[in-house]
A and B are shown apart, each in its own frame.
Chain A
Amino acid sequence: MRPRIETGHRRLERIALDPLARTTTSYYLFVLFLVAVVAWGFYAYVTQIRWGLVTTGMRDQVFWGIYMVNFVFFIGISHAGTLISAILRVTQASWRTPITRMAEMITVVAISIGALMPIIDMGRPERVWHMIAFGRFQSPLLWDIISITSYLTGSLVYLYLPAIPDLALMRDRLGRDASAIKRKIYTWLAVGWRNTPEQRHRLEKAIGIMAVTIIPIAVSVHTVVSYVFSMTLRPGWNSTVFGVYFVIGAIFSGIASLLIVMALFRKFYHLEEFITARHFRNLGYLMLVALLVYFYLTVGEYLTTGYKLEIEDKHLLELLLVGESAGWFWFFVVAGLVIPAVLIIVRRGPVIPRMLIAAVLVNAAMWVKRFLILVPSLQVPLMPFEFGAYRPTWVEWSITAAAFAAFILIFAIFAKVMPLISVWEVAEEMESAEHATLEAVERPSGTLEEAEGMGGSAAQRRLEETQS
């Protein structure tokens, strides 16, 4: 059996490190396109700085717009990393290993982009340091700053720690022609990793501590993001359930983002052998759980306010259910809840395209849902006057497009400096799977089939699933 493990290991390394070694022209073209979009967004931002927020569609009544929608959206998808890598690690779900790296990357990139959004939204961005110099803990915005910076720091550490053995691997596999600076960086980042049992033990311990630490931080982040809204006396925002509602929504869209990222990288970087239908199926079920909870909370939110029908809530519900925003609201219900649920439950057709379609729909619908949480609440008049109106301008759309482009761009660059799957963890899992098979075979009473049923030959099963 030994040689087979070695081959598998080598094959894993080859496939995982391939994107780092080889870069195609279409990659450069794609990056160039993304850079162009980001540059256009930068031009839009310069325009906004020059003239002020008058260049946006926001005005005194609807004074927050799609910048804040993006903020909630990006902070939301950042929960992918925590859920997959921390929760699944703590619960020791071994199937997570090939997708943890991507999940953690989503987290780090999404928080960074998301945290920029309120700064872009500020009237005086040059005074952002006032938040630290004169910060008041009574303000929900300061809670945001504290928990988001903690989350970013924690996620960076949590991305880095499990990457150390892989960085050491890259240090060792660098070709002779690799530049000195590249070698220096990888050597520095690998912090002298030699894969000794003691190092291994310490690393596992550190990762374990971080996994447990990061879960409450992640929950706190989206809770306080919701508090920015629910600490106010506005219809639709003045709600006690908002913390949970936002956390569940974040996990929901986080899983959807991870599914999209997985499907794309699987295709472009030929990771079919490691990211299999099983991962899509399992994540699909997790997404279904989040979907059902989110559906439950949505019904609860609108039923309780709609039953009592306070006048401002009445205005809001009319806007959402039958009025101006009704098209978007029912789009959210159908495309974000009904169709994805059907796609996950009705197991007909190949699983990966099904999950990809469901995930794309969920992410689009969740962006719309954040818009519906934000904007119609602000349109409702609080004094006896007319409803407000909001239509984002080209500046806002450009900056939004740039934010998404920057998200993909950082990802594309990440993929060139670090393996997209955690090589050492997958190798470890393969090894332990092989051992399980060996043990099962050696056991006199057991059969090979039984052993496979117990989750034995992972490699074999992967091959089967790749074909399906």
Chain B
Amino acid sequence: MPDKQDGKKLGRRQFLKWSAGAGLAAVLSSPFLPVLNPVKAANVPLPGPSHDTSHSNEGGDPKKVRAWTMVVDLKKCDGCVTIDAPPQCTQACIDGHFAPKGQEWIQIFGVDLPGGGQSFLPVPCYQCENAPCVNVCPVAATYHNEDGVVLIDHKRCIGCRMCMAACPYHRRFFNWAAPEVPPEAALAHYSPLYPVPAVKGTVIKCMFCAHFLRDGKLPYCVAGCPMKALYMGDRNEDIASNGVEVVQLSKFLDENDAFRWKEGLGTQPRVWYLPGHGQNFNRHASDPRPLKRPVWNWGGDGYNYQIEPLTWKRRPNETKD
């Protein structure tokens, strides 16, 4: 009898010890879980029709790893000044993504040439292989997908803007308010591959139209360029296309003296430039015609308004919030 009692007592004590130990281990190890599993946390598949099945059926083998790469032939880029239009790549991007007013995910910069002339530089997100923005994100909301594209999960983004600080190309935008978008944007199914409609208080940027690429479709900007100056390709398959011609990517880059913007930073952008100033369309480097601003067809005044204290009248975006 005493033995039995002792045994029982011991058993209970043992159990308590075990459970206390397990609890302690769980508590102590919980801060280290993200360390053990950092990438998985980022690549949790997200709901949305464009993520897996619906779009990748036509694009051949879904398991094939891509390395999406963009090439911009600056010899063909005239900033659309010769056709007297806003840059059509930017315009197509804005219209296709309902990009909030003021955000040019692919933006054309005027670059000063040594003799006083100017060339144009279309700049999408460079989808850097060594992406500073991905490194600094505290919650893994921005990440590389399996094809090397840098995406943002707007359901996870906390809006700290650390990635904007890290990006040396200024290619990230913030949704400072509830974005002004046309009504049809509400029909879109959000996914990190197609972040429409934009989410207030989160960071947004170009994502190479990753929802199109696996289907063999070209991004809005590439398809929208009237000069066919933009090429989209896959480094693994060594192929690129601007919609009318198909080139061998490696040869194309080598033979046209391709360069990358701010190569010295070591960020390894996936966007290459072929030097030029639009000469293929008879644009002279000294052509003074300036770039035209893209237009947002759905009105509003972007993020330029400021809210004054104690004005109780209705404000411009009252109904949208």
Contacts and interface: CB of A to CB of B under 8 A. Distances in A.
Interface stretch (A52-60, A256-264, A288-296, A322-330): A52-60
Interface stretch (A95-103, A134-142, A187-195): A134-142
A394 B308 contact: yes
Given A123-B175, A127-B156, A53 B139 contact: no
Interface string A358-390: 000000000000000000000001111100000
Nearest to B33: A135
Contacts of A268: none
A140 B35 CA distance: 14
Given A121-B160, A123-B202, A393-B306, A50 B136 contact: no
Interface string B162-201: 1011101110111111100000000000000000000011
A36 B139 CA distance: 36
A63 interface: yes
Contact of A123 (B109, B110, B121, B174): B174
B38 interface: yes
Nearest to B306: A393
Given A232-B165, A384-B111, A134 B41 contact: yes
Given A229-B165, A382-B169, A54 B305 contact: yes
Given A56-B176, A233-B265, A381-B170, 14 more contacts: A60-B103, A60-B174, A61-B170, A122-B158, A123-B160, A128-B158, A130-B141, A131-B138, A137-B35, A141-B136, A141-B162, A229-B165, A232-B168, A382-B168
Contacts of A141: 136, 138, 160, 162
B200 A52 contact: yes
Most buried by A among B110, B157, B159: B159
14 contacts: A52-B175, A60-B174, A122-B158, A123-B158, A131-B139, A136-B41, A137-B34, A138-B38, A138-B136, A228-B165, A232-B168, A237-B165, A383-B169, A383-B170
B142 to A, nearest CB: 11
A122 B170 CA distance: 19
A139 B138 contact: yes
A53 B136 CA distance: 21
A134 B34 contact: yes
Contacts of B223: none
A136 B200 contact: no
B137 A136 contact: yes
A359 B256 CA distance: 62
Contact of B159 (A59, A123, A139, A234): A123
A54 B170 contact: no
Most buried by B among A63, A134, A233: A134
A61 B136 CA distance: 18
B170 A139 contact: no
B303 interface: yes
Interface residues of B, number: 53
B309 interface: yes
Contacts of B162: 139-141, 228
A124 B202 contact: yes
Given A47-B307, A64-B161, A124-B202, A134 B139 contact: yes
B137 A394 contact: no
Contacts of A59: 176, 303
B136 A122 contact: no
A123 B172 CA distance: 14
Contacts of B136: 138-141, 231-232
A16 interface: no
A118 interface: yes
B309 A63 contact: no
A55 B138 contact: no
B135 interface: yes
B84 interface: no
Contacts of B111: 384
Contact of B132 (A56, A145, A232): A232
Contacts of B166: 231-233
Contacts of A394: 308-309
A228 B139 CA distance: 15
Interface in B27-43: 34-35, 38, 41
